[in-house]
Structure formats: C-alpha cells, structure tokens
Amino acid sequence: MPESLEVDGIEIPRKSIRLKSKLDAGCVGKAKMDLGGSWTRVCVTVWDVEQAPAEAFLQEVSIRRGLQHHRLVQLLGVVTQSQPMLIVTEFMSQGNLKSYLRSDLGRQLELVVLIDFARQVVDGMLYMEEKCYVHRDLRSANVFLSNALECKIGDFSLARKLDGHRYIIRRDEKVAVKWTAPEVFKEKSHTSKSDVWSFGIFLMELVTCGQSPYQGEKEQ
C-alpha cells in the first residue's frame, strides 16, 4: 500500500467485524463491529485491490476522514491488513432514500417531510462546499435514512477536493451522467455549482417517489 496516507487510529482488527453475509468486491453490506464486547451494527464497503486500485481506496478514506458532519455518513474505521479491504461506516437502518421513496411508506410521505429531506441534504452539501469538496454524485441512491428519517449523504467514491474552485476531470474518469451539469462535459471540470445542478435532479427524485431522471434513457 502507498505510504502517502496513514491509517493509524482507524484500523480495525478483522476479527472485530462480522459480516452478515459474504460480499463481493465493490458491494456494500451490513455487518456488526465489536466495541469492547458490545456488538453494534455497521455498514461495510468491500474493496479488492486486484479489481480496484489501492490508491482509490486510500483516496476515499482520506476524503471521508476530512469530512466530519452530522449530515454525512461517518467513517468508523478501515480493515487494510488483509484482503479484501473494508471501509466501515455508520449503520443507516432505513437504507438509501431512493429505495425508501419507491416503497409504500415512501409514496405516502407528505410534502413537508420531503422538504425536510431536502433541507437536511442542503446542510450536508453546504458543509462540503465550505470544506472545498465536490460530491459529484449527489442522488437519492446516495442519501441514507435512519429510523428517525434523518438524512445523511454517503458514497464519496467520486468526491474530490477542489483546486482553485474546480476539479479537473481526468481522462476516462467516471461521471454520474444523468446527475451531472451539462457544462461539466464541455469544460471537463466540476465546481460547487455543478453539485447544485445535481441537487436539482435530486429534488426531482424526491417529488416523483424516486423516479430516475430522463425516463427512457439508460440509467447511470
């Protein structure tokens, strides 16, 4: 592993993590973590360096460590001493907002609740802007809910630190097409304003019970 990023202080012994079921690389699943004899529910993202570069793993860990806010899904630790590597995050009992909106319960939500969801997401995105980060993949599938219907933004795999108020897209770099502002493709860069465009698409998802944007086009 590269030595440019220290993971001291957040390394978790593998024996302290119990997966609910076997997960393939790239998957997110439920698990339990031992906290001094008391087991608590967590989520884990599985990484296999043979399929995904270790640098990408370390980059996401670095970004998560730099973002500490109650409207962002928080990093609890990592497992790096054996394969597959794991990113361990807090457990959000109601899962992602997209699935919730499409459920029977989600279809019954009143407008005032949807507006509150949007407000909570704005809080998290404003914090990211203050810290000079762009999320680059804000969508309902990447917002997660607690039992109390508290929203937290997650999945920072595409998030990046801004350099001079913009992030230049690298060649062949992944982009969330349907949630990405048109100027991003022209200028080959992301800014906080492009996250605002994504938020607008997110609002459309809220009021349509989780429908994907641009119906009829292949989902990204």
CA distances from 135 to 4, 12, 72, 119, 198 (A): 23, 26, 11, 17, 9
In 3D space, the residue among 137, 150, 145, 5 whose CA is nearest the CA of residue 66 turns out to be: 5
DSSP-derived secondary structure for 97-153: HHHHHHSHHHHT--HHHHHHHHHHHHHHHHHHHHTTEE-S--SGGGEEE-TT--EEE
User: How far is residue 99's CA from residue 205's CA, in Å, rounded to a whole number?
Assistant: 11
Residues annotated as catalytic are: 137
